[in-house]
Structures are given as structure tokens and as C-alpha cells.
Amino acid sequence: MTILAAISLGLWIYLLAGHGGFWRAAETDEAAAPDPANWPAVAAVVPARDEAAVIGRTIAGLLAQDYPGDFRILLVDDGSSDGTARIAREAAAATGRGDRLEIVPGSPPPAGWTGKLWAMEQGIARAGGARWLWLTDADIAHAPDTLRSLVARGEAEGLALCSLMARLSTANAAERALIPAFVLFFQMLYPFARVNRAGSPVAAAAGGCMLARADALARAGGIPAIAAHIIDDCALGRAMKRQGPIRLMLTRRSVSIRPYGGWREIGAMIARSAYAQLRYSPWLLAGTLLGLALVFLVPPLAAAFAAGPGRAMGIAAWALMAIAFQPMLRFYGRSPLWGPLLPAIAAFYAGATALSAVAHARGRGGMWKGRAQARLGA
């Protein structure tokens, strides 16, 4: 146990001192970019499948954008059975800007495509001459200045892609316990500072809000280049970084309005894509679970059961872990006392990751809106 505690402590020293400063939550969109001389045309593409509960608020938020240039919204109705398109039209009409919304009836995805990406492809095909494509989810509510801020940054910095990690729901006990750690773990996998550094191979994006330059997307092969990817946002981030600079930032402007539900529902959300992240490899799964145990579980176990130096190193590693969690807890308005509970939260995520592999083995991997999409792509 002493050796394991020493390794874990060394890892936490590295994680806090290096690894792109992922834990600091410093990469945000709070600093404003200068306005461009001319505001280019933008088309928002919103894939939607059975989103009646949230689509009205989403459309109202998009139509409330204070963007000075040409802006229109393409909502792709991906075979909804709950009146999503009708509710979207009603919400648009209530704003008095219904002429900016076009409903695109989606067709079933061809072989080799995920449903969401096929819907996006159909929307992009109707985008005309827009310079920027705002790819946003049907369950994200945007503040009125979101698009203006994104385009200003994209134009000022010559970006190929600018993405915001929407603030996720923390309305119930399970969400408050698990969601801040979800964002922290995402940042561990993809340190935002490295994503935003031109010379770094690390690339990612957050699918809820992505502003892509249309010509850069075309050079990258368009959506067909990533058609089979379940983790489509990070696949798009990799493709776009080969075309030019990209940005990935935390934001308070964009908020997820979909409740994730209780413990079981959040576990299912994690399990939907975890095994795809590991490229469906049992070896990567085993390595990931062992790594999670070494980084997150060894410190409290050593603190509780080791003696002498092993116990001291376990306590030190646990303390560093709690420190690393603090900036994200502050971002989500949570108590710092959640910090020492990160090992238990990590154990939940490890279990959901294992269940992701089980679901894949049973032919139900990547389940979303009634579609099993595993093995299409990573």
C-alpha cells in the first residue's frame, strides 16, 4: 500500500503542477473580443429528436440573440413523435421572429451514420452561404449575447472552431453530486489550455455549442468525415484543429436545460459513450479502471488502512485531490466540502464505465432516443 500511495501522490503532484492546469477552470469566455468591422452571416443548425419538453425555450433563446448580422435557424426534426416541430414553430411565432426559423424534416440516417450527425448534415446542406455554422443542441438555452461573443472571438482570432462547455444542470441531489466532477474529468482528458494551444495535439469540443467556420469545415471533409463517431464533438474538434486554431471554454452564457435525472439516469448518460471513448478495447477499459483506482481510490484507502509513510502520503494525495476539485466546485456554486468526496464520485464513474462495456457486449451500446449506435465509430 505504501508504494501505491507514493505513486498516487506523485501523480497528483504532476496533475496539479502540470497537465495543462486543467483543474484551474481558467479557460472561460469572460474576456470579450473586439467587434468585427462587418458581421458575417450565421446559420444555426439544431438537430432535434423528441425534444418537446425543451425545444420551446431553446428556440426562444436563439431568436432572442442580439446578433447584428444575418442570422437564421435550421431546426432538423429527426423523426420526432412528440410534436417537437410544432412546439418550435409556436415558440418562434410568439417571438415575432418566426421568419428566421426553418424546420427541416429529417430522413432516417443511412448506414454508417449516427442519427444526430445525419441530422446536422441535413441542416448544413440548407445553410446556403453562411460564413459561420452554429452547431447547437436542442436542450441548450443561450444568453442573448452568446452568438455575438462567439463570432467576435472567431473573427478576431482567426478560428476554425469556437466551442463553449455549457453549464450543466445541477437541480437535484444526484446532479449536484456528479455533474461538477463530470466537467472536471472531461478537463482531465482534454485540458482546455492544451486544446487552445496551436502546437498541442490535444483537440476537443463541447457539442452543445460549437461555432464552426464553414470553409474550414468543408476542408476538413464536413460532417461526413466524422459520420460514425458517437463522441462527435471531440471528433469534430480534432478534424477542425487540423484546419486552424480552435477554442474550448467554460461559459455561464449557455445553460443545459435538460434535467439529467437521478443516479441511474446519470449513470446511463456516462455509460452511453464511455466505452466508445476507450475505442471498444477491453485492454483500455482495464487500464482505465486500474488508473482510476490508483489516482482516486488509493489515497483514501491508504489514509484509512496504511501505516506510517503510506498513511501520510495517502492523506497528502487525498488533500491534493480535494484542492484540484475546488475551482470547479466554485464554478458550479457548490460547497468546498464536496472536495474530499471526489473518490466516491470517481468510483461511481468507474462503475458506469464498466457498465458501458457490458451494454456494448449486449448490443445496446450508445443508446440514444431509441437508437443503439455503438460500433459506428469512437
pTM for this predicted structure: 0.90
Task: Look up residue 103 and give its DSSP letter.
Answer: E
The tens-digit pLDDT sequence of the chain (378 residues) is: 889 999 999 999 999 999 999 999 999 999 999 999 999 999 999 999 999 999 999 999 999 999 999 999 999 999 999 999 999 999 999 999 999 999 999 999 999 899 899 999 999 999 988 999 999 999 999 999 999 999 999 999 999 999 999 999 998 999 999 999 999 999 999 999 999 999 999 999 999 999 999 999 999 999 999 998 888 999 999 999 999 999 999 999 999 998 887 888 888 888 877 777 776 788 988 888 999 999 999 999 999 999 899 999 999 999 999 999 999 999 999 999 999 999 999 999 998 888 888 877 776 554 555 555 545 545
Helix (H) or strand (E) holding 132: strand 132-136
Closest by CA position to 336, among listed 316, 315, 321: 321
Strand 101-105: give its sheet, edge to edge.
Answer: 101-105, 71-77, 42-48, 132-136, 209-213, 161-167, 246-256, 140-142
Is residue 97 a contact partner of residue 44, using CB atoms and an 8 Å limit?
no
Q: Which residues contact 350 (CB under 8 A, 6 or more apart)?
A: 289, 292, 293
CB neighbours (10 Å) of residue 108? 10
Which domains does the chain carry?
2-23+270-361 (no CATH), 33-256 (3.90.550.10)
Q: Are strands 140-142 and 209-213 parallel, antiparallel or unpaired?
A: unpaired
Closest CA to 92 of 117, 111, 72, 113: 72
366 exposure class (CB count in 10 Å sphere: 0-12, 13-18, 19+): buried
Q: What angle do the packed helices 84-95 and 55-63 form, to 10 degrees? A: 30
- How far apart (Å, rounded) are the C-alpha atoms in residues 208 and 256? 8
DSSP lists the bridge partners of residue 48 as 77
